[in-house]
Amino acid sequence: MSKALHNLQANNPIGIFDSGIGGLTVAHAISKELPGEKLIYFGDTAHLPYGDKSPDSIKYYAIRISQLLLQKRCKMIVIACNTASAMAYETVKDFVGRQALVVNVIDPVVEEVLNRKKKIKRIGVIGTKGTVKSDIYAQKILQGNPKLEVNSLATPLLVGMIEEGFFNNKISRTIIGDYLSRPRLKKIDSLILACTHFPLIKPEIETYYKGEVEIIDSAGVVARYVHDLLKKKKLVAVQKNPQQQFFVSDFTKSFEKSTRFFFRKKIRLEELGLWK
Ligand code: DGL
């Protein structure tokens, strides 16, 4: 962002949003990387999954959610969803303008891949139908290094499976194995987990590949990127026990129960009826 930002204050919150609770993996990584930051999370559970929605719908949801996060005086908006990052990042950036910083979950990973010291050549990408259809990872990676090969595969069953708590069991191993054995992913040397739900199945994916394929997940990469950007803008907060708030657009007990997988502890979800 080249132009000066509107009077942002370091102690203002970081807003984070996703289609549901998967983005909590990113929120958790940010809270570990930046313990002095107040976080406001919004999971659009009323519209989950985003992976099957049209770009126009996702842009519309993303704008409305960004408006809410700006009303809550967020200094930064993190789009903690690959599908929304692929389809609505430019729209959100234009809408937000100089009122806040905007970060997506794709650019930090692409930057990480292009700067890797260890040589990787054949990269696999797994994500929602929307993310894979956008072809955004291949476009951005090849723009940075045309010698790399990028093959993407939509793995839509994995999101519902993870949200239902099906991981580390026979069913998840079968579904993961079926997807990863597809011809598109043959002979890859690294795999990008292009969905914020997927850090939860990273150990199973690592076991499948027996350590022979490098698995790149975005949560830690994005958290470090957020830290660097805030440092650069002199906007890092150093608050003691900052408040964290977690909102969803449609509350159910089962979402609240599942938060413990994604945020590594159970958290309280509040409903904010943005669409009601
Ligand atoms: N967490 C979303 C992502 O990273 C996927 C879930 C969905 O389809 O809404 O793309």
pLDDT tens for each residue of 175-211: 999 999 999 999 999 999 999 999 999 999 999 999 9
Q: Domain 107-218 - what CATH class?
A: alpha beta
Residue with the bigger pLDDT between 1 and 107: it is 107
Average pLDDT over residues 18-24: 94
Contact 24/216 with Cβ under 8 angstroms?
Answer: no
Question: Best substitution site from 48, 65, 136, 159 to test ligand 1's pocket, by max atoms within 8 Å of Cβ?
Answer: 159
> Which amino acid residue places its CA nearest to atom 2 of ligand 1?
81
What would the two tokens of residue 163 be? 């949200």
Q: How many CA atoms lie within 13 A of 3 on its CB side?
A: 10
Same fold, 4-104+220-271 and 107-218: yes
Strand ranges, E, within 145-189: 149-154
Q: What pLDDT, on a 0 to 100 scale, did the predictor assign at position 257?
A: 87
Reply yes or no on whether the pLDDT at 4 is more than 70.
no
What is the pTM (predicted TM-score) of this model? 0.95
129 backbone φψ class: left, alpha, beta (φ>0; ψ -120 to 50): alpha
Other beta carbons within 10 angstroms of residue 186's beta carbon come to 11
Q: What pLDDT, on a 0 to 100 scale, did the predictor assign at position 136?
A: 98
Annotation marks residue 74 as catalytic: no
Is ligand 1 within 6 A of the CB of residue 195? yes
Is ligand 1 within 6 A of the CB of residue 45? no
Among 34, 113, 195, 235, the one annotated catalytic: 195
DSSP H or E run through 41: strand 39-43
Q: What pLDDT, on a 0 to 100 scale, did the predictor assign at position 255?
A: 84
Q: What percent of the chain has pLDDT over 70?
A: 99
Contact 14/100 with Cβ under 8 angstroms?
Answer: no
Annotation marks residue 195 as catalytic: yes
User: In Å, how far are 42, 184, 197, 271 from 245, measured between CA atoms?
Assistant: 9, 40, 20, 11
* R_g (Cα) of the chain, nearest Å: 18
Query: 4-104+220-271, what's its fold?
Result: Rossmann fold (3.40.50)
pLDDT in tens, 204-250: 999 999 999 999 999 999 999 999 999 999 999 999 999 899 999 99
Q: Please enumerate in sequence order all residues whose Cβ is within 8 A of that of 128, keeping only pairs 6 or more positions apart, or say none.
A: 49, 50, 51, 52, 82, 83, 154, 155, 156, 159, 195
Is ligand 1 within 6 A of the CB of residue 248? no
Reply yes or no on whether the pLDDT at 1 is more than 50.
no
**What are the domain boundaries of the chain?**
4-104+220-271, 107-218
pLDDT in tens, 29-81: 999 999 999 999 999 999 999 999 999 999 999 999 999 999 999 999 999 99
108 backbone φψ class: left, alpha, beta (φ>0; ψ -120 to 50): alpha
